[in-house]
A and B are shown apart, each in its own frame.
Chain A
Amino acid sequence: MAEQEKIKSEVPLLIPRSCESTLTNMTGSWRFLMPRYEEKTAPCSTACPAGEDIGRIEMLTTQGLFKEAWETILRENPFPAVCGRVCYHPCENRCNRGEFDDAIAIHSIERFLADAASRNEFKPSIEKLPSKKQKIAVVGAGPSGLAAAYFLTLLGYICDVFEAMPEAGGVLRWGIPLYRLPISVLRNEIAHIESVGVRIHTGKCISKSFLDEAHNQYSAVFMGCGHSRTRGLNIPGENMDGLEDGIAFLGKVRQGETPSFDGSVAVIGGGNTAVDVARSVLRLGGKSILVYRRRRQDMPAFDQEIHMALEEGVEIRELLAPVKVEKNGREYTLTVQPMRVAGTDTDGRAAIEPDNEMTQEIIVQRIFKAIGEEAAEDWYNPPGEKEKSLTLKNSVLIPRSQGAVLVIGGDLTNQTKSVVHAVASGKEAAIALDILFQEGSEAVESRLKDYVVGNGPSLSMEVYMAGPRSEREKHIVEYDEINTDYFELAPRVTQPRLLIEERRKTFEEIDLKISANVAIREAERCFNCGLCNQCDNCYLFCPDLSIQKDDSSQGRHINYDYCKGCGICVVECPRNAMVLEEEGT
């Protein structure tokens, strides 16, 4: 030891030792490209007529934040439990994951969240603006009317909803069969709408004179009376006893009647009503034959509904146009003209013409007409040229100088007659009215454009109310912009369903529940296109340690003192929530 000490004192340690960090080198000055966090728009959310923030809903579901995920739906749509069941989910057709393996089962997750909220009795906390002085009347408590009232209430207006039937819900209550939408589910959602402050008056049928007197009490009237009268076939024999309206039949069944059927039943039409009637008849013991004048692929009914109808045993006879109906004792003879495809119609469906002179006869026990519905009263419809009006995407706004402002929406104006389009209509009407009251009717059209999701036409109430979503770029993320190296192939959840044998016998709901685990796993498949889900790739791969965590909502920021602008963070962001720009732009 002594010797070591001696060496130490005699031989000085002449090694240069660094004692500073490199933090004095501001390497940010090298940068000519600048990365930046920038959230963008997911394609699903633009495809959703209600503009739901789907990418975020799935992200919150992944994190187990079911209440927050459910509230995120409620900001854009008061009917998650209904739409999770009956919506034809156009969102899933635009899902980028579809190009990778299979689209996310967005509707299954939506339904799961709504069911979880109901099971856990969540009370939503949704932003509501301070009260405003205007009162608004809503005619019809169907999906469009209730949506309009809900969104107007969130915007601070007082809303009275008038409904002719003894219970609210419109087509959801009196049209859509129970096997697609159980009654408790609907009642639960209507209760939520009432809990934000919407006042629903049932059993109040509104007459035309109401419109003229409304301005005494109301600043605006929203007409969402829907289409409830079956259109005529214009063929001999159609008005004879025993030929029933499809929509009226569905209403009776929903009122609790259970007529029984025996033998063949013809349902004329190709829309959702026709399919619902055919499937209901089947459940009541009949054999359903759907008679449609175009081809199966031209049917306006939603694909999935047609598919399930076929599974259950509904027979579809396509390219047959009804010519006349005759009664033979207890049976009916439906004479049909075979048709053939002759080019394409303006709406993309097949144009048809008679195939030959020969007609066919279909002998059945009962016949239902379901070729589409129209407004029950002519004055429900938009006035056309008669009055100055603004035709919006899903509603018509009539800023009358005398009397209350009139908005017509829902099925009365919508091109696509679906529940989610009705919600879109209610939302559009609510935002349009708010703009009209504050800035006048001239501002409506141009200002509405500011609140579209992506390139529209879906509108976002969260964006309108200047929530965090309003900071997102409108750019719609494409599949090529996703870094798929961070995703693994995973099968889409298969929706558990009642067995076909059971489905034929009962009006029990067909689609069964999925568990929380399954819902989370499905939500994890979501790319969350354009949204930061805090994956930390940017932070991890930064060679310059210039991404620093903080308490902001982003959770991190880029320290431009040191960022050399290499751009790795942007390329390694799996979901395109960053952007690389030239310095100084």
Chain B
Amino acid sequence: MTAVVTGLGVMAPNGTDTEAYWAATLDCKSGIDRIERFDPSSYPVTLAGEVSGFDPADHVPSRLLVETSTMSHLALAAGQMAIEDAGVVPAELPEYEMGVVTANATGGVEFGQRELQNLWSGSPSDVGAYMSIAWFFAATTGQLSIRHKLRGQCGVVVSEQAGGLDAIGQGRRLLRGGHRMVMVGGTESAMSPAGLVAQLPGHLSRRDDPARAYLPFAADACGYVPGEGGAILIVEDARRAAERGAAHRYGEIAGYAATFDPAPGRGRPPTLRVAMERALADAGVAPADVDVVFADAYGVPHLDRAEAEAISAVFGPHRVPVTAPKSMTGRLYAGAGALDVVAALLSIRDGVVPPTANVTEPAPDYDIDLVVERPRPAPVSTALVLARGHGGFNSALVVRAAQD
């Protein structure tokens, strides 16, 4: 079974559809700016990658709007785009052979905060009926399944920022188990005051210049900017996709693996490298076959160092172009992996590696060939996408050009 991506849907801070996101990314246009969703002036963090051009009412019917949170609005919009892009008409296909797997890291955050406030500033009866279906982590998968009548196996993966890749890996498992099509990916939105404050104990950048705040792999990296959005993809059994005459074959999900870092104090090495090696082995490709690595790119010096070391250990120093288009969106948590996979597939399509924005060169002691400042034209047939989740989650996914 070969898993082939046939549809893409993107909701990103720098573009609210696939081509707009891709054009902005190649143009080094960032979606990071001062937070507008609420007044951030009392907080030490004032920047985020908000999906500002997005009016949910343009994409989601009003009845559905009220019972869902922003994370699900973004997914419903991206999911619709993906399914239209793929040209899949679920009603024409066996309903139990189509599933949905999304990743989510933090739930329906602004919805949850509003109802928590209703409860604690009011009484239990002030909590609305939709809280029970909007806040939890499975809300998005459930709504996508209902909206598109995808009645096969569904799932929800939570592994912080690694989740987007894990959801795609799980989707491929479903195809191997006999499903013909899966809708996979992830979207995130933690853009409420409580959502931002909850993230503060982490590694958020406290700079207020959008061009200097999130500088993965730079010598003066100082943390990351949070973002919202993500991507939804349609992945099909290649044979089935061919049978129905799918218009696009963006590429294959060729390999995937995940690991977890050892507990602190165990004296064992981190395991991102193992995840990368296993994903490559799963895809049956050698390091030399890989044309580009989409890095996790934490923007935190010790974590950038760990990733740079893992990449150069697998590929050799400066042997493979490395990039981080998320420097233009911020870290999207569960939305990040899927969005990076979209970028990787479009790199394959257009023969170009998108740049890492705002970084002029990597720190001198990182032995990586970081693509900076402008896109680099290059034939791309195989890409490795990396994602790490807070606490030690590592995932690696290999995409490659669709074979005939």
Chains A and B are bound partners: no
